[in-house]
């Protein structure tokens, strides 16, 4: 076989391989763009998750403070209730004394 015939046989193969490489390169560019978009989306989601985690932590802190305040308020209400009971007893005693004094 002559070099010219060999070249004639190789040229279509080289052209086909070159066309396939062009298609693969185009597909690779599409994949790179898609990966870049996914990476951007993941970064945004990560930022959102970090924000939400911080907000949840802040809410837990606020809830803890509210619970402490509620406990303190409950104790003060109980104390006030006890004082009112004492006042009511004193008023009742005064009324009894007044009634006894008026009954004479």
pLDDT digits (tens, 9 = 90+) for 41-69: 999 999 999 999 999 999 999 999 999 99
In three-state secondary structure terms, 103 is: coil
pLDDT of residue 5: 84
pLDDT of residue 4: 87
Residue 1 per-residue DSSP state: -
pLDDT of residue 103: 66
**Predicted model pTM:** 0.54
Segments of the chain with pLDDT less than 50: none
Residue from 24, 23, 2, 21 nearest 13 by CA: 21
**Structural element, H or E, at residue 5:** helix 3-102
pLDDT of residue 101: 83
């Amino acid at each position: 076989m002559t070099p010219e015939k060999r070249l004639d046989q190789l040229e279509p193969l080289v052209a086909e391989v070159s066309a396939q490489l062009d298609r693969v390169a185009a597909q690779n560019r599409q994949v790179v763009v898609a990966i870049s978009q996914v990476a951007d989306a993941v970064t945004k989601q990560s930022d959102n998750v970090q924000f939400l985690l911080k907000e949840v932590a802040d809410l837990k802190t606020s809830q803890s403070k509210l619970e402490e305040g509620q406990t303190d308020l409950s104790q003060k209400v109980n104390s006030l209730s006890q004082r009112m009971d004492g006042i009511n007893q004193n008023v009742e005693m005064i009324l009894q004394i007044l009634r006894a004094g008026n009954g004479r």
